[in-house]
Amino acid sequence: MDQRDASVPTISRIGPFRASIATFGALIGSGFRRYATYRQATIAGTFTNIVFGFLRCYVLLAVAATAAGQRPAGYTAEQLATYVWVGQGLLAVIGLWGWTELADRIRSGDIAADLLRPVPPLTGFLAADLGRALHGMLTRFVPPLLAGAVFFPLHTPSRWQTVPLFAVSVVLAVVICFGCRFVVNATAYWLQDARGPITLWTLGAGVLGGLYFPLRLLPAELTVALWVATPLPSLLQTPLDVIAERDGPALQAGLVALQVVWAVLILALGALVQRRAERRLVVQGG
């Protein structure tokens, strides 16, 4: 957070609704600027995403080459390549790993300062995270996709609604991913040290989100159970299946509708956890 946030008008004559929209927008901007500072880290991360893109793409294409009907789990080779490369681009956009800010602030006691702000922590962190995701979309999303398009034949969307649906799906995935990370970090209110839950999240989100392999390779009942009972497939698997056009138009839209449900549920859970935590919070420090 830089100094410009102090000038954000939270109490003003333009009315409370427009003022909170302005605050939210300013926080998104600050999140964007914060990540725009680390240009070299952006380049380093992009390089790594591309290397992993080659790895996963070659492995899945080798599976497709010998699979029954050359369509493992119903994907053509082009769809699999799209799945992998868009996935590598989205990884930094949804920000699956590495966010421990809330847990760190709880442990150090800095959270006390956040509670004094006129913006609730859930809203403030969400806005900053949307700014981070926007920066990721503008810098980290395109290079892996370009690398994939240069070296592999990709699937070109054939329906008009696929790209807009994908855009909505990505925004929802960012919100769901943030909500999950918020709840996982918030366990620090009770545990002090949230490293254990964060380890489990890092582990589960990658595999069950569909990063390592498309979840459709698992038995069908298990895939459906994961999708309905956990928010994890809504993080990567849904946007990737939408852009790869793995399913018919109805299921494609249905998966995004399921994301809406999860986004509402996870934000509600985050708000509930925060409220319960504030009632029993012991500020750390000394």
Partner 1 sequence: MGELRAYAALGAAQIRSATAYRTSFLIELFGNMGATVFDVLTVLVLFRATPALGGFSLAEAMLIAGLSAAGFTLADFTVGNVDHLKSLVRAGTLDAVLVRPLGALPQLLLMDLPVRKALRVVFGFTVLVLAVAANDIDWTPARALLLVVAPVAAAVFFGSIFVSSASLAFWWVDSGEVGAAFTYGGRDFTSYPMSVFGGWFRGLFAYALGFAFVAYQPALALLGVPDPLGLPAWSGFLSPLVAFAAAAFAAGVWRAGIRHYRSTGS
- In sequence order, which ranges of 95-161 are alpha helices (DSSP H)? 101-108, 111-116, 121-139, 142-151
Q: Is residue 222 within the footprint of partner 1 (CB under 8 A)?
A: no
Q: Is residue 207 within the footprint of partner 1 (CB under 8 A)?
A: yes
User: Applying CB under 8 A, which of residues 32, 99, 213, 227 lies at the interface with partner 1?
Assistant: 213
Distance CA(208)–CA(206), nearest Å, equals 6
User: Applying CB under 8 A, which of residues 191, 258, 260, 271 lies at the interface with partner 1?
Assistant: 191
Asked if residue 151 lies in contact with residue 51, where contact means CB atoms within 8 angstroms, the answer is no
Q: CB neighbours (10 Å) of residue 270? A: 23
Distance CA(186)–CA(180), nearest Å, equals 10
CA quadruple 86, 88, 91, 93: dihedral, nearest 10: -50
Phi, psi values for residue 216, rounded to 5°: -65, -15
* Burial (0-12, 13-18, 19+ Cβ within 10 Å), 120: middle
Q: Is residue 48 within the footprint of partner 1 (CB under 8 A)?
A: yes
Using DSSP's 3-state secondary structure scheme, residue 95 falls into coil
Q: Which is nearer to partner 1, 24 or 52 (CB)?
A: 52
Q: Which is nearer to partner 1, 65 or 113 (CB)?
A: 65
Asked if residue 166 lies in contact with residue 255, where contact means CB atoms within 8 angstroms, the answer is no
User: Applying CB under 8 A, which of residues 22, 59, 168, 269 lies at the interface with partner 1?
Assistant: 59
Task: Mark residues 115-154: x for contact with partner 1 by CB under 8 A, - for none.
Answer: ------------------------------------x---
Q: Is residue 36 within the footprint of partner 1 (CB under 8 A)?
A: no
Q: Measured in Å, how far apart are the chain's first and last C-alpha atoms?
A: 24
User: Applying CB under 8 A, which of residues 104, 206, 260, 277 lies at the interface with partner 1?
Assistant: 206
User: Applying CB under 8 A, which of residues 19, 36, 67, 253 lies at the interface with partner 1?
Assistant: 67
The tokens of 179 are what? 């909500």
Segment near partner 1 (CB under 8 A); pick from 17-25, 67-75, 162-170, 251-259: 67-75
Q: Is residue 7 within the footprint of partner 1 (CB under 8 A)?
A: no
User: Applying CB under 8 A, which of residues 19, 63, 167, 269 lies at the interface with partner 1?
Assistant: 63
Q: For binding to partner 1 (CB under 8 A), which residues are involved?
A: 38, 40-41, 44-45, 47-48, 51-52, 54-56, 58-60, 62-63, 65-68, 72-73, 151, 191, 193, 195-197, 199-200, 202-203, 206-207, 212-213, 217-218
